[in-house]
Amino acid sequence: MKSILMISLHGYVGANAELGKPDTGGQVVYVLELAERFSRLGKKVDLVTRQFEDQPEYDIVDDNYSVWRIPFGGKEFIRKEDMHDHLKKFVTNTLAAIKKENKKYDIVYTHYWDAGWAGQKIAEELGISHVHTPHSLGWWKRHTMGSDMDEKEMEKTYRFKERIRKEYFVYQMCNFVIATTLPQVDLLTKQYDVLPRNCGMIPPGIDENRFYPVPSKENDKVRSKYDIHPNDILSLGRMAHNKGYDLLLQSLPTVLELCPEARLVAAIGGDSEQDQQGIEKLKTLAGELGVLDKIKWKNYIADEDLANVYRSANIFAMPSRYEPFGMVAIEAMACGTPSVVTVHGGLYDLIDFGNQALFADPHRPIEFGAMLSMPLLYPKMRNELSVEGARFARRNFGWTGIAKRILKIFDNSINQQSMESNIYTN
């Protein structure tokens, strides 16, 4: 296996990704890191995505790896929920471009249902294997959000019926599904009828060269640059309902009752109008809760600043309503920052509570607030979580090791497809 066609369609995918823009978060980081590691390991990689706005056709990363943009759906941004309407055109345009450029691939590796549906069609046309990573599952997302939104409004916004139908097709037809958590594997077999031999779990990874602890005296020097205080709680990520930032705000009165000196640093969302509207709603809620003066609002954190921002905080909070994995928490832990994560996600099942991290249900604000307060109240606990959390993150989630495990799956899928083809032709 020498050449990989990776596909990730939604958001702003590029060699220097504009993280924080709509639909541009953890999945984009995951895809870019894997593409780079595949390249380092000697594989040729074309990472195919959508070309829109004024983006160039190619980002040439190195001799082995390029980001290749295929135009479809016009020049404007398309949110991932509406990719349904344009995928057939993407398949046609991509196959034509592959033929025109005389490109050859050994395997198709896709990410999320939109690229998965298109990638399955492309793999069938090219006669090669297809491996897929879902990142999140429509069935899980719909059922987790069921109590928070009107059903008709939810369907209009997220188009779950179409998504789940396409997911079912992808998971049944592709050669192998790589889930990022054990609960995803369970849902794939129970809700999507995937054969257990056709799916497995490999967690996301972290860049070991960026995310690591530094001496506390170094942290003291960098905090002033980012306006982060020694008792600050950090929450960071895209502006999205599932991230549970409103639930985090509801936990702050408990935190402040126990630790009056605490403060929340909310590094949420980007510059889009939709993100700004969401942040204004959060500010209104904070005012109603009486905690607005205890929150430092930050916009998008530049990639080169991310590790230092993680290190500067006392605690990292991930209050998601649901979270397929939670890469930001792993990055924070690798930097030596104790983390409090949601129980509604895959990372929860891997954590040794009180040793590597803490977890709580963000739907119970007092419980979540109490967990956030523990490292503030007990420095010995904080130090233990800092050391053991960093060890856990770095030993289990380095990207190069993750990439090698995925390459083994590629080889197995290619060999299996080759055997099946020989049976049919003979």
pLDDT over 80 at 422, yes or no: no
Q: Are 387 and 419 part of one and the same domain?
A: no
Q: Are 269 and 159 part of one and the same domain?
A: no
**Residue 133: closest CA among 23, 28, 50, 59:** 28
Bridging pattern class, strands 199-201 and 176-179 = parallel
Q: Are 110 and 228 part of one and the same domain?
A: no
**Is the Cβ–Cβ distance between 263 and 297 less than 8 Å?**
no
Q: What is the CATH number of the domain that holds 232?
A: 3.40.50.2000
**Residue 342: closest CA among 256, 413, 247, 426:** 247
Name which residue leads in pLDDT, 207 or 78.
Answer: 78
pLDDT, mean over the chain: 93
Q: Are 110 and 21 part of one and the same domain?
A: yes
Residue 112's pLDDT is: 97
What would the pLDDT profile of 141-179 be if each residue is shown by its tens digit?
888 776 666 788 888 888 999 999 999 999 999 999 999
Q: Are 239 and 139 part of one and the same domain?
A: no
Q: Within 83-236, where are the H helices?
A: 87-101, 112-126, 138-145, 151-158, 160-173, 182-191, 216-226
Count how many domains the chain has.
Answer: 2
What would the pLDDT profile of 243-297 be if each residue is shown by its tens digit?
999 999 999 999 999 999 999 999 998 878 888 999 999 999 999 999 999 999 9
Asked if residue 390 belongs to a domain, the reply is yes
What would the pLDDT profile of 297-326 be if each residue is shown by its tens digit?
997 788 889 999 999 999 999 999 988 778
Domain of residue 334: give its range: 216-396
Rounded mean pLDDT, 23-44? 94
Residue 318's contacts (CB-CB under 8 Å, 6 or more residues apart) are: 235, 237, 326, 328, 329, 339, 340, 341, 342, 345, 347
pLDDT over 60 at 208, yes or no: yes
**Residue 409: closest CA among 203, 111, 199, 204:** 199
Asked if residue 211 belongs to a domain, the reply is no
What would the pLDDT profile of 73-93 be if each residue is shown by its tens digit?
999 999 999 999 999 999 999
Could you tell me what percent of the chain has a pLDDT over 90? 76
Residue 3's pLDDT is: 97
Residue 273's pLDDT is: 86
Rounded mean pLDDT, 46-64? 97
Residue 414's pLDDT is: 94
Residue 424's pLDDT is: 62
